[in-house]
Amino acid sequence: MRDTTEIKVFFADTYALIEITGGNPNYKLYVGNILLTTKFNLIELYYHFLHDYSKETADHYLQVYSSCLIPITNTSIQYGMEFKLNHKQEKLSYADCIGYALAQELGIPFLTGDQKFASKENVEFVK
């Protein structure tokens, strides 16, 4: 019998990538799907592994997630920075605002465990 599981596309922020890589069981559902991210998120991810593990681990995951990269568009810069300004009291990161804007632009869910995004539109919030 053929597997009829639908493959979905998500924009994965750095938080989500760290949880997936760390084996968080709450993120297991997302492993077989298509994950997209930006170089900003990859930079944050690299730093995380460099700081908490080793250069070898950081290099490994840089390679693994490089295939998930999508370009930052002018529209995502405009929308993302307007979003950041409109939510300045929340002190959202540039990377998250650009990622959120790209998810909106592409019509895909923004996958994160960042509490600041829990109640926002088009967010797949997973702890």
- Classify residue 103: in a domain, yes or no: yes
| % the chain with pLDDT above 70 | 97
Residues 55 and 37: their CA atoms lie apart, in Å, by 21
Q: What is the mean pLDDT of residues 87-115?
A: 98
CB 109 within 8 A of CB 103: yes
Q: What is the mean pLDDT of residues 14-27?
A: 98
- Classify residue 49: in a domain, yes or no: yes
Structure confidence by residue, pLDDT tens digits, 49-71: 999 999 999 999 999 999 999 99
Residues 26 and 36: their CA atoms lie apart, in Å, by 19
- Classify residue 47: in a domain, yes or no: yes
- Classify residue 2: in a domain, yes or no: no
- Classify residue 3: in a domain, yes or no: no
Residue 1: the pLDDT is 44
For the chain, what is the domain count?
A: 1
- Classify residue 1: in a domain, yes or no: no
DSSP state, residue 111: E
Residue 5: the pLDDT is 73
Name residue 124's beta-bridge partners: 111
- Classify residue 4: in a domain, yes or no: no
Residue 34 has pLDDT above 90, yes or no: yes
Residue 39: the pLDDT is 98
Residue 3 has pLDDT above 70, yes or no: no
Q: What is the mean pLDDT of residues 83-108?
A: 98
The CATH number of the domain holding residue 81 is 3.40.50.1010
Residue 22 domain boundaries: 9-125
